[in-house]
Structure 1
Amino acid sequence: MASVDLRGVRKSFGSVDVIHDINLSIADGAFVALVGPSGCGKSTLLRMIAGLEETTDGDIAIGNTVVNDLTPRERNIAMVFQNYALYPHMTVRENMGFNLKLAGKKPAEIKARVGEAARMLGLQPLLDRRPSQLSGGQRQRVAMGRAVVRNPKVFLFDEPLSNLDAKLRVQMRAEIKLLHQKVRTTSIYVTHDQIEAMTLADHIVVMHGGRIEQQGSPLALYRKPANLFVAGFIGTPAMNFLEATATQDAGAPAARLADGQLIRVAPTARVEDGQPITLGLRPEHLLAQGQGARLAGPTRFVEPSGALTHVTFEFCGQDVVALMDGERDVDPGSPFEASIAPEQVHVFHRGTGARLNH
């Protein structure tokens, strides 16, 4: 195992800069998710750590060694791709042990390592099958097993679950989390799915436009997003945003909504009277019963999902989503209203998007 440090890392393709001065320290044994929309640079950054892309500037260190000039093999990393890349003519056992064989390991050591990895991943009954005889989830476990047997310093995952159906993705998330709990190898996981990032990682790095927008624990990013981009990206359903004007209510910070209502905000909000601001309201914090400002309007559509129901209603000409108990019946077209507690209101600068309440 080893730590990973990126110091002033940049990447350009010709005159186009895709990674801008990334500084990131990943502790030994941590599980870090790089998350962001397509094109944000997360996969390019992962490939630079792996040695599959050269850095334009800056240093990448694994452990205490700067690895910029080392080949992928010399970096002692293992990568699990979206494409399983299994050899179709080999059995599971042979696929998992192939890299060890190339490295000149003795047959007894290969057998022991493959056996241990197969035990951890529940692959013992499949060792003599070929990839064509396996399901998608089983193939992904074999790809993970092939990485595990190498005992690498760092695991790199590049959107490994994208090809799986919804049920298998949930199962494989659990497999990956259990695997990390067992081996405690430093892991860097790239995904555009914020649910994967929230459930798997102990540290999330949100990227946008080749830059780090915010990093921290999943709950820290959920509770205190640093700006509008992170607020809209982390959390599902996505946060609602309402335009408002900063004001005072009995000497306390407040916001005036488009319909003229006043809504209290946290006393830590750094706003000035008359300042244009954007309020962030999470759907799960909109309450059918409660005190405070009431958001009301006609129900546009309802999305039941069992225990919870997503209700989209119109407020001052825009859609607002509320997350309600699944037992509550709401009909499209019917009046709907909800309130939100002041401490659950996020306040952002309308121009820069920066968070204003701390």
Structure 2
Amino acid sequence: MASVTLSNIKKSYGSLGVIHGVSLSIEDGEFIALVGPSGCGKSTLLRMIAGLEEITDGDVSIGGKVVNELTPRERNIAMVFQSYALYPHMTVAENMGFNLRLSGEPKPVIAQRVAEAARMLDLTDLLDRKPAQLSGGQRQRVAMGRAIVRNPAVFLFDEPLSNLDAKLRVQMRSEIKTLHQKVKTTSIYVTHDQIEAMTLADRVVVLNQGRVEQQGTPIELYRKPANLFVAAFIGSPAMNILDGTVEADGGEPAARLGDGTAVRISTDRKVKPGQRIKIGLRPEHLNPGAGGAALAGQTLLVEPTGAQTHVVFDLAGQAVTAVVDGEYPARYGARFQASIAAEQVHVFDRESGIAL
């Protein structure tokens, strides 16, 4: 195992800059997720750590050693890709042990490591099968096993679950987390799926256009997003964002929306009367029939999901989503009314997008 440090990493293709001075410190044994929309630079950053992309400027250190000039093999990393990249003519055991065989490891050592990884990933009964005889989830486990047997200092995952269906993604997500808890190897995981990032990682790094917007534990990013980008990206369904103007409502600060609705905001927010702001309301914090100032409008859509009901209603001319536990008797066109506690209202500067 080893720590990983990125020091002011930059990447340019000619005059086009794609990574703009990213610095990160990843502790030995930590699981980090790099998350962001397509084109934000997360896979490029991972490939630079792996040695598959040349670094324009800055340093990558693994275990305290700068590795900029080292080949991927010399960096002692193992990478799991979106594509399984298994050899179709080889058995599961042969696929898992192939890199060790290339490295000249003795056959007994290869057999032992393959057997250990197979037990860890529940592949023991599949070692004699070919990839064509496996399901998608089993193939991905074989790809992970191929990485495990190398006993690397760092695991790099590049959207490894994107090719799986929804049920298998959930299953494999659990298996990856269980695997990390067993082997405790430093892991860097790239995904565009914020649910994957939040459920898997010790720490989440949100990237946007080649820059780090915010990093922290999943709960820190959820509760205290640093800006509008992070607020809108973290959370499912996404946070509702509305324009408002600060005013005093009974001596307490409030955001006055376009339809005249006043939404109380916490007194510890750094706002002043007349200030133009944006407020963020998480759908799960909107409570129908609860106390507090009412947010009301015509119901536009009702989506029962079983354990919850998603209700979309019109508020100040904008579609706002509320998540209600269990079944809820909302219907299209009816009036929907909810409230939210002042301390759960997120406040952002309208111009800069910075949290206030």
Fold similarity call, TM over 0.5: yes
Instruction: Give the residue type in structure 1 aligned to 2:184.
Output: R
Q: Alpha-carbon deviation of 1:64?
A: 1.1
Between the aligned partners of 2:237 and 2:293, the Cα distance in structure 1 is: 21
Partner of 1:334: 334
**Which residue does the alignment assign to 2:347?**
347
Equivalences for residues 75-114 of structure 1 within 5 A: 75-114=75-114
Distance 1:9 1:60 in 2: 8
Size of the aligned set, in residue pairs, is: 356
Q: C-alpha separation between the residues in 2 aligned to 1:279 and 1:327?
A: 28
**Residue 263 (structure 1) shift:** 2.1
Instruction: Show the counterpart of 1:31.
Output: 31
Deviation at 1:9, TM superposition (A): 0.4
Deviation beyond 3 Å, 4+ runs, structure 1: none
CA distance in 1 between partners of 2:118 and 2:5 (Å): 31
Offset of 1:316 from its aligned partner? 1.7
Distance 1:194 1:148 in 2: 25
How many Å apart are 1:206 and its aligned residue?
A: 0.2
Deviation at 1:24, TM superposition (A): 0.5
Q: 331-340 or 111-120: which moved more?
A: 331-340
Deviations 1:38-94 (A, max 9, x none): 000000000000000010000000011100000000000000000000011100000
Partner SS for 1:68: coil
Q: Distance in 2 between matches of 1:134 and 1:199?
A: 26
Matched, 1:294 2:264: no
Separation in structure 2 between the aligned mates of residue 93 and residue 229 of structure 1, nearest angstrom: 45
- Show the counterpart of 1:63: 63
Q: Which residue of 1 aligns with 2:117?
A: 117
Structure 2 unaligned segments of length 5 or more: list them: none
Q: Determine if contact 1:33/1:201 at 8 Å carries over to the other structure.
A: yes
User: Which residue does the alignment assign to 1:259?
Assistant: 259
Q: C-alpha separation between the residues in 1 aligned to 2:167 and 2:305? A: 15
Question: Hey, what does 1:20 align to over in structure 2?
Answer: 20
Indicate whether 1:215 and 2:215 are aligned: yes
Q: Which amino acid in structure 1 is aligned with residue 126 of structure 2?
A: L
Correspondence for 2:191: 191
Q: Are 1:95 and 1:146, in contact at CA under 8 Å, matched by a contact in 2?
A: yes
> Tell me, which stretches of 5 or more residues in structure 1 are unaligned?
none
Tell me how far 1:322 sits from its aligned partner: 0.2
Aligned amino acid, residue 281 of structure 2: L
Q: Residue 263 of structure 1 contacts residue 292 of structure 1 at CA under 8 Å; is this kept in 2?
A: no
For 2:280, the aligned partner's letter is G
1:6 maps to 6
CA distance in 1, matches of 2:44, 2:159: 12
Identity %: 69
Kindly provide the CA deviation profile for residues 237-292 of structure 1, in whole angstroms up to 9, marking residues without a partner as x.
00001111012234332221222232221111111210100000000000002222
Residues of 2 paired with 1:310 and 1:202: CA distance?
29
- Is the contact made by 2:298 and 2:334 (CA closer than 8 Å) also made in structure 1? yes
Shift of 1:325: 2.1
TM (normalized to structure 1)? 0.98
CA contact (8 A) 2:304 2:327 kept: no
Question: Is the partner of 2:101 in helix, strand or coil?
Answer: helix
Q: Indicate the RMSD between aligned Cα atoms, in angstroms.
A: 0.8
Q: CA deviation at 1:340?
A: 0.5
Contact 2:261 2:295 in 1 (8 A): no
1:347 is paired with a residue whose SS is: strand
Cα pair 2:155 2:187 within 8 Å, conserved: yes
User: Is the Cα–Cα contact under 8 Å of residues 298 and 334 in structure 1 kept in the other structure?
Assistant: yes
SS in 1 for 2:311: strand
Which residue of structure 2 lines up, in the alignment, with residue 204 of structure 1? 204
What is the identity, as a one-letter code, of the residue corresponding to 2:123?
L
Q: How far, CA to CA, are the matches of 1:317 and 1:252 in structure 2?
A: 25
* Separation of aligned partners in 1, 2:154 and 2:267: 44
TM-score (norm 2): 0.99
Residue 235 of structure 1 aligns to a residue in which SS? Answer: coil
SS at match of 1:336: strand
For residues 99 and 330 of structure 1, the distance between their equivalents in structure 2, rounded to whole angstroms, comes to 58
Match of 2:229 in 1: 229
Q: Aligned partner of 1:344: which letter?
A: Q
Aligned mates of 1:109, 1:287 — CA distance in 2: 59
- Matched letter for residue 161 of structure 1: L
